Structure 1
Amino acid sequence: MKNQLKMVNRLPKNLFLYFLVFVTATLSVQAQDTYLPMSLEKLEAAFSKYQEPALTHRRFKHAELQPLIQKHSGAFQIEKLGESIEGRSISSLKWGKGKTKVMLWSQMHGNESTATMSLFDLFNFLEGKEDGYDELRKLLKEKLSLKFIPMINPDGAEAFKRRNSLDIDLNRDAISQISPEAVILKAARDNFEPEFGFNLHDQQVYYNVVNTPKQATISLLAPAYNHETEINEVRGRAMKTIAGMNELLQQIIPEGVGKYDDAFEPRAFGDNIQKWGTSTILIESGGYPNDPEKQEIRKINFMIILNALHQIATEGYEKYTTEQYFAIPDNGLQLVDLKINEMLVTMNVKQYPIDLVIRRRESEANGSYFVSGAIDDLGDMQVYFGFEELDATGLEYTEGKVYPNAFENIQQISSEKALELLRQGFMAVKVKNGTPRQLHSLPIQVLKSTEKLSGGWTTSSAPNFFLSKNGALKYAVINGYLIDLENPKSQEFKNRVL
C-alpha cells in the first residue's frame, strides 16, 4: 500500500485527478453491489400503497383468492400445479428472470393465513411502477426468479382448520406423501430447484420470548437437515438471512422475536427441503396486541419478506453470521389469556391460595367463530405470564347460579341486563327460543340445551365462577373472560349458546 501511495504522489496533477475520479466511481459501483437494508419508513410506505384491499380478515376461502390470482396474469406466469382432495386448484405464480431461484409457500395449514395475505400485497408491489421503488423491482427482477404458492391446503382453508380433508398434517407428510397436496409441494420444489425457500406459517398467540412476558409476534427458524443439527453451507445461508431479517424486526417489534427449537423432524417439509438443498427459512406469525385479524402482523410479514428478497438479490446476508442467528432468543410457551394469583378455594373447611391460568381457544361456527375458555393449570403459576393478570389476594372462589326465569330469546338480554344479573350472583340465563351454538357477545352464559351451568376451579372444569370478598361479589369469570363487576371495561365477547 505504501508503494502504491508513492506511485500516486509521483503522478502529474491532471493524472492524479483522473485517478481520484476512477477510485470514487469504482467505490460507488462496489457500494451498489453490497447489501444496504431498506429503511423502515420505505417498507411501511410500500405496504400502505400496495396492501390488497380485498383481504381484510384472516378467514378467507379458496374461491376468494382465485380472482386475485388472475388479476396478476399479465405480470406473473400462473400455473395450476394440481388439485386438493376435494378438487380445489393449487396454483403458483412466477415472477422475475434472475439466476437465483426463491420459492415461497403459505397456508400448508388451512387456518394459518397471515402470510398468504402478505403475498398478495407483495404481488401488488411487484407489479407496481413509477412510484420510487422501480430500482428495487429492477434489481429483484434481474437477480431473482420467484415462485409463489399462496395456498397449499385449500380444503383446510375452507373449514379454517389446520389439517387437510384426510385429517393429515401436511407438514408431516413430506416423505410418505399420502396427500395430493404434499405431492404437489414436493414436485414444485423438485421441478423449480430453488436456492432459497420461505416456509410461511402461523403459531399460537401464546408463544413468548422465553422467560419474558414479551409476545413472540414473529418466530424464525433455519430448520435442521439431520438429527445432529449440523450447519452446512445451505443451512448457514438461511441462518445469515434470518439474522438480517431480525435486524429489521428489532426496529419494528423490539424484543418480540423468538427462535424455534431446531430439533430435526424427519417428516416435516421445512427440514427436508433444507436437506434437499434449498436454504429454508421458517416464518411463524404469532400474536400482536389488539390485532385479532393479524393485519399488523400481515404488514410485518410483507416488510421482512421484501427485505429478505433484497438481501438475497444483493447477497447482503453475507454480512451476517450464524452467531447472530443463535443470539436470537428461544421461543417459550408461557403466555395465557388470564392469570389469577392467590385465589382462595375452600376444601374440607380449609382455605388454600392457588394461582390459576386460563387460555381461550377458537372454534369455527356459522361463518365466524366462538371461544371456549379452559383452565390450563393451577397451583404455583409463577412461570406464566398473562395478557391479563389479577391479584386475587383475599378473594374467594364463589359458585354462580342460573337465573330461574327463562327469557323468550337472546335478543331480550342486553349487555346491561347481563351485568345486572351477574351482580346478583347469576352467571347464566335460559332462553326458550334459539339454537344451541348460536353465537352471541353477551357477558353471561346463555343456556338452551341444558339448564345446568358448568363451572369450577379445577382443570376439568369450565372457567365460570365469581370472586368475592366478605360475601360481596367483586369479579366474574365467564368462559375465561374476566369482568370487574364494579368497573366493567368495554371488551368483545365471543360466546355461544349452550
Structure 2
Amino acid sequence: MEKDTKEKFLKTICNNFLNLQDTDNYFRFPSYDFLIQKITSLDKNIFRIEKLGKSVELRDIYGIKFGKGPIKIMAWSQMHGDEPTATRAILDFFYFIQNHPEEFDDLINYISQKCTILFVPMVNPDGAEHHTRENAWDIDLNRDALRLTAPESKILKMVFDDFQPEYSLNMHNQSKYYGCESTGEHVELSFLATAPDKERSLTVSRKRAISLINKIVEKINALENQHIPMGKYDDKFEPRAFGDNFQAENSGLVLIESGYVPGDENEEKLRKLNFLSLIITCLYTDDLDYKKKDLQKYNELPAISEFYFDVIVRNATLNQDGKQFIADLGIKRELVWQGKSKYYYFGFISELGDLSTLKGFDEIDATNCIIKPVNTYNKSVQNIDEVKSLNYKELHKKGIASVKMDRLSLTKESTSMPLNILPIHEDWSPEKLSPATFLIEDSISGETKFIIVNGVYFPVNP
C-alpha cells in the first residue's frame, strides 16, 4: 500500500473514531463477563478464537487471531488486573475489523495479508475481576517470567513460544502522577523498547522496537494535529519481567503505558491513542528500516518519573502542637472499589514539606494563608438530593464544607461533591485533615480563600 494511502486511512480513522469504536464499550473498567460476551460474539470467519487455559480462579483466558500475513504481531493487555485501558482499545480493534464501513475494505485486506496478529486481552482475569494489580495468588505476573509460578504466566509464555512473534506489544496503565522530566508535562502515553540484558544491548529485535515506537509517536502527533505528551521509561534490565525476556528472545517488544489526560476521567482519549497505536503497528511494520538516527530520535523522548499530585497547596501556614510552620501540601485522590462495579474517591495528604520541585494538576498559592479545619453544617440531611439542594458556595464563605447524613453510602458521586459527607454519628476532628478536607484562610483578613473537599479544591468568591 502506498504511503499516501496509509496516511489517508489513518487520518480518516482518527477523525471518525467516535463512529468507528464499539459504543457498548463505554465503561472505564470492562468486566470479565463483558469481555467474554464480546469475544464469543466475534465472527468466526474473520477471527480465530482459542481458549488458551485458565486462571487461578478458573476463568478462561483467550487468544484471538486476525490476518494470515507473514509479519507476526502479538499484543496483550491487563497482565495487571487494574490496568484496563488497552483492553478497551483491543475490543475497539475487533469491532472495527468486523463492523468497518465499506470504505475501509482495502485497509482491512491489506492488514490481513501483511500481518497475523494474536491478541491476549485480559491476561489476568482474576485481577481484573477484583480490581487488583496482582493475580488471585497476589503474584505480580510481570515479575513471574523466570519462575512461571502462576498459571497465567505459564499461558503467556506458552503462547509466545508457539507463536514466535516478530513484534510484541505489552500494554499497561501507569500511575497518573508520572510526568516528563525535561518538560514538566503530564504523560499521556509512555513507551519502552525493553533491554534484552544487563548491558542494555542494541540487538536487532530492539532496533525494530525502537523504530516502531518512533513511528507510533510520529503518527500520533501528526494525526491529532497537536503535541501529545509522551515519554519513555528507564531501560534498566529486569530479568523477571516478560518484556525483557521476550526482547531477549528476538521479538521486537514495545511496552505501551497509558498515562493520564486531565479532565478525561473515563480515559476516552487514552483508549483512542491505544487503538491508533494498534492500527499504526499493523500498517507500518512492513516497511520499518532502522537507521542510526532512529536511536537519536528515540532517545529524545523525555524520561518520565513520578512527580505529580492532584493538588499542591504551596507555602501554607499550619499549626501543630501550638507551633506554626510553613509547608507545601501534596494531595492525591485514590480510587477505592466497593464490589465489582462501584467505586468512590478518597482524598489524602500524600506529602507535606518542601514540594518546590514537584507539580500539581491544580496548584494553590497559600502564601500568607493558614490551614484550618472546616465547619460542619448545623442540620443533618437525609439523602444526596438534599445535599445537592444546599447552596455550597454560600456555605463555603462561612467555612462550612461538611454535612452529616443518615445512612451514608460512599459512592463516586458522594465523594466528588463540594461538601464532605459524614455519617450522622461521627464528629469532625479539628486535628484530622484526612480525607483531605480543610479550608485555606487569609491570615490577615480572616476570609476563606479556598476550600479543599476530599482532595478537590474550590475557590471561595467573596
Query: What is the TM-score normalised by the length of structure 1?
Result: 0.84
Note the C-alpha offset of 1:215.
1.3
> Is 1:479 the counterpart of 2:449 in the alignment?
no
In 2, Cα distance between the equivalents of 1:74 and 1:301? Answer: 25
Question: Given the alignment, which residue of 304, 324, 346 partners 1:331?
Answer: 304
> What's the % identity of the aligned pairs?
33
> Is 1:71 the counterpart of 2:41 in the alignment?
yes
Note the C-alpha offset of 1:431.
2.8
Comparing 47-56 with 222-231, greater Cα deviation is found at 47-56
Note the C-alpha offset of 1:352.
3.2
In 2, Cα distance between the equivalents of 1:363 and 1:197? Answer: 32
Bigger Rg over Cα: 1
The answer to whether the 8 A contact 2:48-2:65 is kept is yes
The answer to whether the 8 A contact 1:208-1:332 is kept is yes
Question: Given the alignment, which residue of 355, 361, 377 partners 1:387?
Answer: 361
Residues 376 and 38 of structure 1: CA distance in aligned 2, closer, same or farther (over 3 Å): farther
Partner of 1:364: 337
The answer to whether the 8 A contact 1:224-1:262 is kept is yes
Amino acid at match of 2:136: S
Residues 486 and 329 of structure 1: CA distance in aligned 2, closer, same or farther (over 3 Å): same
Amino acid at match of 2:21: Q
In 2, Cα distance between the equivalents of 1:238 and 1:136? Answer: 23
The answer to whether the 8 A contact 1:81-1:92 is kept is yes
Partner of 1:279: 252
Residues 48 and 417 of structure 1: CA distance in aligned 2, closer, same or farther (over 3 Å): closer
Amino acid at match of 1:378: L
Comparing 69-78 with 434-443, greater Cα deviation is found at 434-443
In 1, Cα distance between the equivalents of 2:393 and 2:260? Answer: 30
Deviations along 1:193-213, one digit per CA (max 9) or x if unpaired, are 111100011111111111433
Alignment of 1:160-239 (within 5 A): 160-239=131-210
Pairs aligned (count): 455
Partner of 2:264: 291
In 1, Cα distance between the equivalents of 2:254 and 2:430? Answer: 44
Three-state SS of the structure 2 residue aligned to 1:429 is strand
Amino acid at match of 1:124: Y
Residues 451 and 418 of structure 1: CA distance in aligned 2, closer, same or farther (over 3 Å): farther
Residues 163 and 449 of structure 1: CA distance in aligned 2, closer, same or farther (over 3 Å): farther
Unaligned runs of 5+ in 1: 1-30, 488-498
Deviations along 1:367-426, one digit per CA (max 9) or x if unpaired, are 222111122223221211211111112211122234455444554333534544443333
Partner of 2:21: 51
In 1, Cα distance between the equivalents of 2:48 and 2:2? Answer: 29
Residues 80 and 466 of structure 1: CA distance in aligned 2, closer, same or farther (over 3 Å): same
In 1, Cα distance between the equivalents of 2:282 and 2:412? Answer: 45
In 2, Cα distance between the equivalents of 1:305 and 1:438? Answer: 32
Amino acid at match of 1:76: F
Three-state SS of the structure 1 residue aligned to 2:285 is helix
> Is 1:302 the counterpart of 2:268 in the alignment?
no
In 1, Cα distance between the equivalents of 2:410 and 2:278? Answer: 43
The answer to whether the 8 A contact 2:317-2:370 is kept is yes
Question: Given the alignment, which residue of 395, 399, 403 partners 2:373?
Answer: 399
Amino acid at match of 1:135: D
Deviations along 1:54-83, one digit per CA (max 9) or x if unpaired, are 101212211112221122223100000011
Amino acid at match of 2:198: H
The answer to whether the 8 A contact 2:345-2:412 is kept is no
The answer to whether the 8 A contact 1:249-1:257 is kept is no
Three-state SS of the structure 1 residue aligned to 2:407 is coil
Alignment of 1:14-29 (within 5 A): none
The answer to whether the 8 A contact 1:244-1:320 is kept is no
| CA RMSD across the alignment | 2.7
Deviations along 1:227-246, one digit per CA (max 9) or x if unpaired, are 22111111111011111111
> Is 1:352 the counterpart of 2:325 in the alignment?
yes
Comparing 145-154 with 160-169, greater Cα deviation is found at 160-169
Unaligned runs of 5+ in 2: none
